Amino acid sequence: MKTLLILSHTYWENSKVNKALAREALGLDYVKVHNINEVYKDGKIDAAKEIELLKEAEFIVFQFPLFWFSTPSLMKEWQDVVLSQILHGENPKLLSGKKFGIVSTLGGAKDTYDGHHGYTLNELLRPIYYAFKYCGATLVDEFAIYSADASNLPLQEYKSYLKG
């Protein structure tokens, strides 16, 4: 595994775009797809298990639909539990030298996220990026999909992004 794709979607059963992207990523030998909503149905994140996955990754990608200008709640819980354990655990430099990026799906039009609500998409994602930068990761610009329609996704660009 080169890329660890950490996926979260509160309404996974009804997902169209994120499911289509995950199916595409599952076919890539350099990607491990890790759907935390499927793994942690009880909402309790196993930090030790997550840290083991992170050790093997060169490129860590969060993939999620932007809900109310933020991540799904379980992904925020993942950050609180796992990043805290890394910083205060036995290997606080675990993420140093690793890359971090975000694939975000957005149901709205691109111009809705160009400052229309007062902030650009990059600004909305900044707290997530900063948490990983604080932990030593190198940041990779986000890959955004502005569509709720899974029939015409930029799959080649998505696969290229996942290469890091």
DSSP of 4-55:
EEEE--TTGGG-SHHHHHHHHHHT-TTEEEEEHHHHTTTS---HHHHHHHHH
Closest CA to 60 of 31, 21, 84, 27: 31
Q: Is the pLDDT of residue 154 over 70?
A: yes
pLDDT the model gives residue 1? 65
* Structural domain for 16, as ranges: 3-162
Q: Is the pLDDT of residue 104 over 90?
A: yes
Higher pLDDT, 107 or 6: 6
Q: Is the pLDDT of residue 146 over 70?
A: yes
Closest CA to 161 of 68, 18, 63: 63
CATH of the domain at 15: 3.40.50.360
pLDDT the model gives residue 11? 87
User: By CB neighbour count within 10 A (0-12 exposed, 13-18 middle, 19+ buried), where does 86 fall?
Assistant: buried
Question: What is the count of structural domains for the chain?
Answer: 1
Find tokens 């955004």 and name the residue: 144
Lowest-confidence region among 19-23, 43-47, 85-89, 150-154: 150-154
Q: Is the pLDDT of residue 44 over 80?
A: yes
- At residue 87 the predicted structure's pLDDT band, cuts being 50, 70 and 90, is very high
Instruction: Determine what percent of the chain is predicted with pLDDT higher than 70.
Output: 99
